[in-house]
Amino acid sequence: MSAAQTTPRIHYLNVSYGVRSWLVTTDHKRIAWLYLLSITFFFVIGGLFAVFMRLELLTPEGDLVQADTYNKLFTLHGVTMVFFFLIPSIPAVLGNFLVPIMIGARDLAFPRLNLASWYIYTLGGAFTLAAAAAGGVDTGWTFYTPYSSIYSNTHVALTVVGIFITGFSSILTGLNFIVTIHKMRAPGMTWFRLPLFIWAHYATSIIFVLGTPVLAITLVLVALERLFHLGIFDPALGGDPILFQHLFWFYSHPAVYIMILPAMGVVSELIACFSRKRIFGYDFVAFASLAIAVIGFLVWGHHMFVSGQSVYASMVFSILSFLVAIPSAVKVFNWTATLYKGSISYDAPMLYAMGFIGLFTIGGLTGLFLATLGIDVHVHDTYFVIAHFHYIMVGGAVMGYLGGIHFWWPKMTGRTYPEGWARLAALIIFIGFNLTFFPQFLLGYLGMPRRYHVYPPEFQVLNVMSTAGASILGVGYLIPLIYLIWSLRYGAVAGANPWLAKGLEWQTSSPPPTDNFDVAPLVTEEAYAYADAEGETGHPLGKPVDV
């Protein structure tokens, strides 16, 4: 059902045509699309590695692939998903698109740097793909030394160079966001009127900027050790493999907060809009984002409880890990309180947001089990850990990402997606996800180690359930891919504010003009200034409305 106007209006998508106009663009909105295509590509690649892993795990014997091959599969699955999908996903796509618009600016502070970030990301991705094509790497995405630096016979150097390069993409994006948020807010947009999405991305950018460089130098050292036979991490020469782990996890733990904070920012936006209510405890949620970013830098040793790390340091890291759960819990409480007496509608974005809250809570609580020294000794390096982080990264971050993509799809494209199919897909994803990963908690607790392609026969039932769940999850991911592409051409034309949401992005047209606003915004109200729960205009929610 198309709207009355097939508009000849100029906006950021039709202002210029041709591949070249896209490849040299400095428009943050177009760069967001470039990232969307790249990360979707890597998501598919990472997913394919997972497919082979789950197929192998259907049977207790190692009958599909050899052990070495399996090692490469889980390594590449981890490397692709972490560095080339999850870390960029929300910040590089939704963040790039929305940060300037939400604060009322024309673009980010450094648009050319933004484009450079995408090219750097692509270059790093090319290196890593080349390593995969040349035979892959088998060290695990964690690259523990001295196996990665000395003994592995796979393409370690090529892979770490790829990740090193991509790291700069992260750093520059974070730098861009920080400067933009500090210096380019519209008049009236004070810090405490900012959408929580912005607070989340600011906190994420702090981590980008202060954590990623440590990963960079760590990978340099691994590459140097490998290429020049140095011996920095080699115990036979007096080196300390645990030093590598400290350096690696100093980044890689905060990295998980890079993956979840933006999703939390999305969830705040979705909960507010689909409850027609201000986020309960806005200040607390804003400060909780910062607290997660800061405290998140103090806990990395909880990945090293059984590595040979001093038990005293382990105790300190354990306590600090309990502490970091608190701001996350504060957010969950506040979202729940927002729902209370809200006018709730169950559009697809809201389904993803609610799924996020439930699954993130489960993942987060199991994190507390892992932070407990005694329990961790039992479940470290088992499927319990794998289930824990997939609940957070897939049940949390990916669902936040999908919810955000659906919510802002009308703004980005000027089209609406088919709501029925979207709700169905959300449901399938939810079911598939839980069927895939809940059995893994049980497997881990019962003792099945991670990174093994053979296992005792008594674990087969749970593994089969997990693989079955993965196939359902795969179908669930495929459906939005299809209807979102379909909607670009056949979806109903969207107005400026189909969700009747608050926020500067909804006060400009869909899609926005290149400079985001026809008139420079002046902010006069608080964030999420929704009317009382009964609603203000009586418009039915969830239907596209030409505003």
Partner 1 sequence: MPTPMRKAKPVIRWGSPSMSETSTVIAHQFDDAEQQREASTLGMWVFLATEVMFFGGIFLGYILYRSEYSIAFAAASNRLDIWLGLINTAVLICSSFTMVLAVYNAAVARRRALQTNLLLTILLGCVFLSIKLYEYHMKFEENLVPGAAFAFPAPHAPAAEIFFSFYFAMTGMHAVHMIIGIGLLGGLLFRAGRGRYSPEYFTPVELVGLYWHFVDVVWIFLFPLLYLVGRHL
Partner 2 sequence: MKSTPPISVKSYVGVFVALLLLTALTTAVAFVDLGGNLNVVAALAIAGGKAILVALYFMHLRHSSRLSWIFAGAGFFWLFILIVLTMSDALTRSGFSFAAQ
Interface contacts to partner 1, rule CB under 8 A: 100, 105-111, 171, 175-176, 178-180, 182-184, 186-187, 209-214, 216-218, 220-221, 224-225, 228-232, 237-240, 243, 246-247, 250, 515, 517-520, 522
Among 124, 301, 363, 498, binds partner 2 (CB under 8 A): 301
Q: Which does 108 bind (CB under 5 to 8 A by kind): partner 2, partner 1, none?
A: partner 1
252, 167 contact by CB (below 8 A): no
Nearer to partner 1, 106 or 423 (CB): 106
CA–CA distance, 205 with 503 (Å, rounded to integer): 21
* Residue 368 φ/ψ, nearest 5 degrees: -65, -40
Size of the site for partner 2 (CB under 8 A): 25
Q: Return the residues of window 211-230 that contact partner 2 according to CB under 8 A.
A: 214
Residue 308: which of partner 2, partner 1, none does it interact with, CB under 5 to 8 A by kind?
A: partner 2
Return the closest-CA partner of residue 390 out of 350, 318, 441. Answer: 441
Cα angle for residues 183, 187, 191 (degrees, 5° grid):
60
* 56 burial type by CB count under 10 A (0-12 exposed, 13-18 middle, 19+ buried): buried
Nearest to 127 by CA among 105, 160, 103, 150: 160
CB of 149 to partner 2, least distance (A): 15
Which H, E and C letters describe 406-469, residue by residue? HHHHHHHHCECCCHHHHHHHHHHHHHHHHHHHHHHHHHHHHCCECCCCCCCHHHHHHHHHHHHH
**Is residue 308 near partner 2 by the rule CB under 8 A?**
yes
Residue 507 binds to partner 2 (criterion: CB under 8 A): no
From the CB of 540, what's the least distance to partner 1, in Å?
A: 34
Query: Please, which residue, 150 or 304, has the CB nearer to partner 2?
Result: 304
Could you say which of partner 1, partner 2, none residue 301 binds, taking C-beta under 5 to 8 angstroms by partner kind? partner 2
Q: How far apart are CA 501 and CA 404, in angstroms?
A: 13
Q: Which of 121, 202, 115, 127 shows the shortest CA–CA distance to 161?
A: 127
CB of 495 to partner 2, least distance (A): 39
Nearer to partner 1, 163 or 398 (CB): 163
Query: Residue 4 or residue 236: which is nearer to partner 2 going by CB?
Result: 236
Is residue 515 a contact residue for partner 2 (CB under 8 A)? Answer: no
Q: Which residues contact 28 (CB under 8 A, 6 or more apart)?
A: 96, 97, 99, 100, 107, 108, 111, 114
**Residue 441 found at the interface with partner 2 (CB under 8 A):** no
State the binding partner of 316 from partner 2, partner 1, none, CB within 5 to 8 A by kind.
partner 2
Cis peptide before 111 (omega within 30 of 0): no
Measure the CA–CA gap between 475 and 470, rounded to whole angstroms.
9
Residue 515 binding: pick among partner 2, partner 1, none (C-beta 5-8 Å cut-off by kind) = partner 1
Nearest to 480 by CA among 382, 370, 403, 532: 403
126 contact, one of partner 2, partner 1, none, CB 5-8 Å limit per kind: none
> Any contact of residue 290 with partner 2 (CB under 8 A)?
no
| Out of 4, 6, 312, 538, the residue judged to bind partner 2 by CB under 8 A | 312
Q: Should residue 84 be labelled a site residue for partner 2 when binding is judged by CB under 8 A?
A: no
Smallest separation, CB 450 to partner 1 (Å): 27
- Contact window for partner 2 (CB under 8 A) among 241-249, 412-420, 448-456, 489-497: 241-249
Per-residue tokens: 319? 């306590």
Least distance in Å: CB of 28 to partner 1? 9
Q: Nearest 5 degrees, angle CA 272-CA 324-CA 85?
A: 65
Return the number of the residue (313 or 529) whose C-beta is nearest partner 2.
313
Q: What is the DSSP secondary structure assignment for residue 504, as one 8-state letter?
A: G
The structure tokens 């340099």 sit at 220
CA distance 392 to 174: 22
Using CB under 8 A as the binding rule, the residues of this chain from 349 to 378 that contact partner 2 are: none
Residues in the chain: 547
Residues in contact with 532: Cβ distance below 8 Å, sequence separation at least 6, in sequence order: none
Tell me the Cα Rg of the chain. Answer: 23
Cα distances (angstroms) measured from residue 303 to each of 79, 111, 371, 460: 17, 37, 9, 28
Identity of the residue, 40 or 142, whose beta carbon is nearer to partner 2 in the bound complex? 142
Is residue 309 within the footprint of partner 2 (CB under 8 A)? Answer: yes
* Binding flags for partner 2, 175-204, as an x/- string (CB under 8 A): -------x----------------------
**CB-nearer residue toward partner 2: 109 or 398:** 109
Q: Of these, 67, 313, 326, 365, which contacts partner 2 (CB under 8 A)?
A: 313
List interacting residues with partner 2 (CB under 8 A): 182, 210, 214, 235-240, 242-243, 246, 250, 297-298, 300-301, 304, 308-310, 312-313, 316-317
